[in-house]
Amino acid sequence: MDHDVRKSRIIAGILDTSEENEMTCPHCGGDLNITRLRPIEDWSKSFQSYDTIIECSNCFFETRASSCTMTGSVTDFDFKNITISSWCPSGSRVVTKLEHLMDYEELKELKTGNKLVEFLVVDDHVVKLIK
């Protein structure tokens, strides 16, 4: 697993508010402070990312990432990439292709059901659904 993917997974775990062990440091289990600093201006993208800092209140752990959420439906996917059909802020339809870390079976279900869902995107990787 390369560094970026590992980091994305750690951050996804930290940002996951649906799990019971949310918001704890992967090193020491201490409390984490998450700060969304500012929107990242990138007009080539159809979604708004935020510069995010995650730091432990107890140890040296600190990481930075861009994070955002995207609402849309899965139009296509394979083991590496996912294509999401969504809307940009101006209201027009956009299609975004990104790498993903999601479960293949889960994506299959989503595509078949053609459901509108919300994705968590960390460092341009679709990491999971927000439930």
**Where do contacts with Zn ion occur on this chain (CB under 5 A)?**
25, 27-28, 30, 56, 58-59, 61
Q: Sign of the CA dihedral 95, 9, 130, 45?
A: negative
Nearer to Zn ion, 59 or 88 (CB): 59
**Distance in Å, CB of 61 to Zn ion, minimum:** 4
**Distance in Å, CB of 54 to Zn ion, minimum:** 10
In 3-state terms, what secondary structure has residue 91? coil
Nearer to Zn ion, 55 or 99 (CB): 55
**Distance in Å, CB of 28 to Zn ion, minimum:** 3
- Phi, psi of 50, deg, nearest 5: -120, 140
CB 36 within 8 A of CB 44: no
Nearer to Zn ion, 57 or 71 (CB): 57
Question: 62: part of which helix (H) or strand (E)?
Answer: strand 62-77
